[in-house]
Amino acid sequence: MNDRSITRQALTLRAFAVDDVIAEQAAGEIDWQAMPTWIADAVTDRHIDFHTDHVVVVTSRGNLRGEAGDLVSQGVNGEFCVIPSADIAATIEP
């Protein structure tokens, strides 16, 4: 077996910080008009559910919980996922 090195193409994904949603939800001041369309559509379609201290992302593999410090992103095929805060510093470029 040969040892191989591979390079994956960097992807740019849309994402939002759970902290921002938690702050707006707690204050009762979510500005739906200012929210990016893809997020508002995901909420309308019940892919993302906002709570006062977290978000729930509904996926084909089950529900994922996003906490303060996490990001919620939409993949290239439209799927949603939670990126834990521990992974952000190691894998995400600002």
87 φ, ψ (degrees, to nearest 5): -85, -20
Q: Tens digit of pLDDT per residue, the chain (94 long)?
A: 556 666 666 777 888 888 888 787 777 777 777 788 888 898 889 999 988 889 999 988 899 999 999 989 888 888 898 989 888 777 766 6
SS3 call for 7: coil
pLDDT at 65: 95
- What is the pLDDT at residue 33? 79
Can you name the residues that pair with 68 across neighbouring β-strands?
A: none
Contact present, 14 and 78 (Cβ < 8 Å): no
CA atoms of 63 and 91, how far apart (whole Å): 23
Sequence spans of domains, the chain: 14-88
**What pLDDT score was predicted for residue 19?**
87
Output the pTM of the full model: 0.75
Residue 21 is encoded by which pair of tokens? 């949603």
Question: What DSSP designation does 12 have?
Answer: -
